[in-house]
Structure 1
Amino acid sequence: MERRTFLRTAVIGTSTATFGGSLWRGAALAAPAQPGAGPYGALRPADANGILLPAGFTSRVVARSGQRVGSTSYTWHDAPDGGACYADGNGWIYVSNAEVTPGGGAGAVRFSSTGTVTGAHRILSDTRQNCAGGRTPWNTWLSCEEVSRGYVYEADPWGKNPAVRRDAMGRFKHEAAAADPVRKAVYLTEDESNGCLYRFTPTTWGDLSLGRLQVLTAPTATSGRFGWADVPDPAGSSKATRSQVPGAKKFDGGEGCHYADDKVWFTTKGDNRVWQLNLTNDTYELAYDDSLVDGDAPLTGVDNITGSSSGDLFVAEDGGTMDICVITPDGVVAPFLRIKGQSSSEITGPAFSPDGSRLYFSSQRGTSGSSSGGITYEVTGPFRT
């Protein structure tokens, strides 16, 4: 993923959505978020890992590229990227992509109920530039190839079942995926300067082998009503999928994608915007536009987005000051953490443990600025519930 100048997103309102069994309380857009005092207070001096955190929070290194994970025999992959957590009995698993070619794929770390690393394993191999992706309601990981005519692979976080390539989800420069259990669809972003937003509706929910790939259609305006139109050739054999449907709305560099409470939030890096689709009334609008920022914006880049049970969004920076910023339901954006001494890296793969008490993420290139220098972290503390 390229360096980017994305600034801020917005979440305002009081509606609800499912997040790990909790309720998402931020959704209805009212006005762009503005800088302010965050809910966790000011950042304190950097800890031993070079991370600035609010009072009450601590960090630890979970894994480093090229090194064994904890006391396991498994070597962590280069360029860790998109990630997600899965409940595993009394513990959990954190899955992480590898944004490299050749090799690619994804790995996973298993934790006990106390957070102790108990295992690590490979769940996907021999793919290309696995960037972001998304978790499915049936507890698989969708790993997306960020290459021209890339694929989506469905992998088992436990590593027991072989990963499966999901051709029906289209061949394009995939970035992120977000599953909608209400409409039984998966939304997909495309990392192209004239990319599209896609919807894949499987023939049978829970089985992604067959289905219908559509592209969002809408006017060129920044708000209005939207529709969906079938992509005639999801394989993009003779023409790129983004060029097959007249009226397809083009987005400048699709990135993170998140479903919550009948809404889809997705980011576009090329024009520093966050878009919101309201799936109940088929309307779209801007949740953020950098020209509407009052003063200096604390968030100056975006990689991926995750949510907490409190209704807060956590947005990872690619570049900027290497922050993860929090955006509250009442429209305040502020730094939650900052990594020092890693300006040639980007923050990737933010995801909460099932109980919401631990946040996992990676610095893709670490202190070295190389894909072989990736570091995966855990932050523990009093996250809002």
Structure 2
Amino acid sequence: MERRTFLRAASAGAGAAALSGVLWQNAAAASTRALPGAGPYGPLRAPDASGLALPEGFTGRVVARSGRPVGGILWHGAPDGGACFPDGDGWIYVSNSELPLIGGVSAIRFRADGSVDRAYRTLSGTMLNCAGGATPWHTWLSCEEAFRGRVYETDPYGRREAVARPAMGRFKHEAAACDTERRVVYLTEDESDGCFYRFTPDEWGDLADGRLDVLCRAADGGVDWRPVPEPEASLFGPQTRRQVPEALHFDGGEGCHYHDGVCYFTTKGDGRVWAYDARRQTLGLTYDGGGSLDGVDNVTGTAGGDLYVAEDGGNMEINIITPDGVVAPVVRVDGHPESEITGPAFSPDGTRLYFSSQRGASGFVAGTDGVTYEVRGPFRR
């Protein structure tokens, strides 16, 4: 079964308040529910020395800890969204810092054997950099999860200064995902009544100017896109999510990932993984609870169609959602009950998965105990 047939909603719940009437019925009717089952890697073993419970054949290690040296810098506090980029015979992992006032982004370059080559900052002095997204032209979009927050386009290679992209909207940004077919960038908003956006740049590859649209109810009961009149939302005027009356509202937009015509995004308030089919212009559900996945947050995926969803709380797991609708844990972090898993991203060759425990074992809200991990193993590609 193709994932674009979606997965059935278990109940209307909180999301039905935002997707009422015909629109909700259409979303549910076009879905087939994902269920817990035996994952492709087998059950998790007991936690290893680094506190990671992994399937047979997988190994894990700690790459960096907040406030401790790595590659020539002190690793930032509250590590959050991340992505990997190729770099010659090695690769780079970038990681946001969800701290106020200092925020920003750090990067670690790895050699071909996986050892740390060096680390460096690519953005500083910003506010609560939460998630983001990689672009096809190898930049990292770092999103501020703050009132009238901005998207910053950063250089993972550290050669160019980061640039704010206010045309992409001033709101409580969470994540971004690029659709190379339609040449747009999808954006989530972390508000209890947040929206789902689409930014169309005037020129693909240049995000300085363009049009910001919001997903809305259509007259026929489906969905369509309508322009946001004032994307840069003045301080005392109506906020972005309230400028278009027909806009759909979602309960705490989080991670965002595009694959094969579908943009998947998560909402933490109701624990759902949504699927916007850009080719058919329909909205459905990929996951609506009932499995091991709880506290849905950051999301990434593979070329083969597997989704990997990180938990904010819950069992501190990363769960896989397979194209045939199986939900199963792949990683569990032991001993971090007051933290959340952030920044899942695969190395360019697909053999290594990077992620962080934002607040570590202490759960301290300032994020000074964050831990960034690497898991190696026979991941499906």
> Aligned pair count?
352
CA-CA distance at 1:246 after TM superposition: 1.8
- Equivalent position of 1:86 in the other structure: 85
Return 5+ residue gaps in structure 2 as ranges.
5-29
- Equivalent position of 2:74 in the other structure: 75
Q: Spell out, residue by residue over 1:13-44, the C-alpha distance to the aligned partner (whole angstroms, 9 max, x if none).
A: 277xxxxxxxxxxxxx7512101111101111
CA-CA distance at 1:310 after TM superposition: 3.2
Matched, 1:213 2:209: no
Task: Return the letter of the residue paired with 2:169.
Answer: G
- Equivalent position of 2:14 in the other structure: none
Matched, 1:115 2:104: no
Q: Separation in 2 of the partners of 1:14 and 1:345? A: 31
Q: Secondary structure at the match of 2:178?
A: strand
Q: Separation in 2 of the partners of 1:343 and 1:272? A: 18
- Equivalent position of 1:136 in the other structure: 135
- Equivalent position of 1:355 in the other structure: 349
Match of 1:382 among 372, 375, 378: 378
Q: Separation in 1 of the partners of 2:122 and 2:169? A: 22
Match of 2:294 among 292, 297, 300: 300
Q: Secondary structure at the match of 1:168?
A: helix
Matched, 1:236 2:233: yes
Task: Return the letter of the residue paired with 2:337.
Answer: S
- Equivalent position of 2:19 in the other structure: none
- Contact 1:13–1:30 under 8 Å retained in 2: no
Displaced runs of 4 or more, over 3 A: none
CA-CA distance at 1:311 after TM superposition: 2.1
Task: Return the letter of the residue paired with 2:292.
Answer: P
Percent identity reads: 61
Match of 1:328 among 318, 322, 336: 322
| 1:1-385 correspondence to structure 2 within 5 Å | 13=2, 30-69=31-70, 72-218=71-217, 225-237=222-234, 238-290=237-289, 293=290, 297-370=291-364, 371-385=367-381
Task: Return the letter of the residue paired with 1:236.
Answer: A
Change (3 A) 1:62 1:149: same
Deviates more, 1:117-126 or 1:302-311: 302-311
Q: Separation in 2 of the partners of 1:282 and 1:369? A: 41
Task: Return the letter of the residue paired with 1:301.
Answer: G
- Contact 1:195–1:242 under 8 Å retained in 2: yes
TM-score by length of 2: 0.90
CA-CA distance at 1:300 after TM superposition: 1.1
Task: Return the letter of the residue paired with 2:66.
Answer: S
Q: Secondary structure at the match of 1:61?
A: strand
- Contact 2:259–2:305 under 8 Å retained in 1: no
TM-score by length of 1: 0.89
Task: Return the letter of the residue paired with 2:358.
Answer: Q
Higher relative contact order (CA 8 A, sep 6+): 1
Q: Separation in 2 of the partners of 1:347 and 1:58? A: 18
